[in-house]
Amino acid sequence: MTALRSFVFQMVFFLVTTLYLLAFTPLLPFLSRAALWRTAVRYWVATNNTLLRLLCGTRVEIRGRENIPPGPLLIAAKHQSAWETFALLPLFADPAFILKRELTRIPVFGWFLAKTGMIPVDRSAGMSALKAMTRAARVEVGQGRQILIFPEGTRRPPGAPPDYKFGVAHLYGALDVPCLPIALNSGLFWPRRAITKRAGTIRVEILPPIPAGLGRADFMARLEHDIEGASDRLLEAGLRELGARAPKELAERLAGSPLSTPVENS
């Protein structure tokens, strides 16, 4: 049943996304970025989260909204799933994602990324890509926007050892704005590289911001400590809800957790 419900959701997700793209593409030349956020983006995310709950029994709980400061900001979020690539957007006034350049080349969808002012990065370009990303982020921060980056660069399985990249520390030092850490457990319910969507609660915890001005080593240590510690707590809560024992990688990370039954993979 889980596999069937997941398949149905996946098909409906693509259908809904296509319908939104078709409906708003003719309006792109006439809508401001702010108007596009208020209409297409927010309603698209809300529709998908509602479908996820109705079709798969997957709910969403977000804690710590009061920790979001006003104005320009660097947001560093844990990345376990495709879910957070769209579902975190409505939390912020005017966010700009750091994303891989290949996404901007997708027909029609790439036009929306350009209109909403996302920051594409050519990950094969090394230091020149880092410099270009920083220049673009400075421009957006100067307009009061929030820059959202996944510090590990790619999706990681729940409980995998952290692998934080230098890019987030470079941005933090260059932008001179607070950094808002975000922890989550989405990978338990929307696993990477799988169609499966499990019933339960995706939990997101918005943590207190890290003030600007720390040295890079101190910043990285605090960022990893805050995100990983909170994500571990959310993973434990999710596993208890699933009535599940941690997979091997996660069991090693959460050694000693009183969890018993294995997580189903289908």
Domains, in order of start, for the chain:
59-253 (3.40.1130.10)
Instruction: Give the per-residue pLDDT at 51.
Output: 97
Say which residues have a Cβ less than 8 Å from residue 34's Cβ, sequence separation at least 6. 94
Count the residues in the chain: 266
pLDDT of residue 253: 65
Query: CB–CB of 39/20 below 8 Å?
Result: no
Name the residue among 78, 220, 85, 86 with its Cα closest to residue 159: 78
pLDDT tens for residues 38-97? 899 999 999 999 999 999 999 999 999 999 999 999 999 999 999 999 999 999 999 999
At 263 the pLDDT is 38
Quick one: tokens of 117? 């002012």
Per-residue burial over 189-224, b if 16 or more Cβ lie within 10 Å, else e, is bbbbeeebbbebbbbbbbbebbeeebeeeebbeebb
pTM (2 d.p.): 0.89
Provide the pLDDT for residue 14: 95
pLDDT given for residue 246 in this prediction? 62
pLDDT at 245: 65
Instruction: State which residues of the chain have pLDDT below 50.
Output: 257-266
Tell me the torsion sign for CA atoms 99, 105, 106, 107. Answer: positive
